Structures are given as structure tokens and as C-alpha cells.
Amino acid sequence: MGIKVQWNDKNKGYIETRFDDPWTLDEFIEARKKWHRLIKSVDYNVPILLDMKNTYDPPEGIMRQFIAIHRTPHPRQGHIYIMGMNLTFQKLSKHLFTGVAEQSKTVIVIDSVDEITISYQLT
């Protein structure tokens, strides 16, 4: 269980972050560090998918970390896509994801990975 962070495929279109209960605040902090390392390995804006279909019980203190990923993103972080957001997160999302500094770093709730906009050009 826990949090798994990886590129979506060999083309590195976006970062997948899959949550499976139970997971901890420390695991989330490590996942965020891994996003930054992955983003540093490319030279374009990278969207991040938070796949929350298998999580229902967030650890204590996670709300502050969710606010941080949105308010202090990596400079080349793209949109954050959230898939499978449960009712608890849906109710809190309007409080968590406010104060966007850039239009390219918004939070978008999706139903399918087909809705992710990949913003790089393959060469």
C-alpha cells in the first residue's frame, strides 16, 4: 500500500501518483520530492496526476501538504489532475486549491486519464 510515483510511460508525458490506503504524511512528502526530481529530468512543463480512486482515509496533517503542492509548485509543474476524488476531498477541495499564481498550474478534477492535457512536443 502507500503512494507510488512514476512517469506515465516512456515519453514522460505526465507524472502518475497513485494512492492506496493506508498511506502516511511522510510518504506524501516523499512523493512530492520525487515529483521535483522527475520534473528536473526534463525541460518542459509536467502535469501531475493524483489517482485517488483507492484512498478514503487521508492521514492527519495532509491538508496542509495539499495546500503546499498547489501554492508552491515546481517552476515547471503543469496542471494537477485529480482522478477518483472521494466525497471528503471534494468538499474540501475548494479550500485546499485556492491562490493559484499561474493559470498553467490549476487543479482539475477528472474522471479518466484521457482528460489530461500533455503540453510538451515530441521531437
**37/97: higher pLDDT:** 37
Give the number of other Cβ atoms within 10 Å of residue 13's Cβ: 20
- Residue-level pLDDT at 57: 81
Spatial CA neighbour of 80 closest among 62, 99, 106: 106
List the grid coordinates of 6: 512514476
Which residue intervals of the chain are DSSP H helices?
25-40, 62-71, 87-96
**73/40: higher pLDDT:** 40
pTM greater than 0.75: yes
Q: Tell me: the pLDDT tens digits for 26-38?
A: 999 999 999 999 9
Distance of CA 95 to the CA centre of its chain: 16
Q: Regarding beta strands 2-7 and 15-20, do their DSSP bridges make them parallel or antiparallel, or are they unpaired?
A: antiparallel
Residues 11 and 29: beta-carbon distance below 8 Å: no
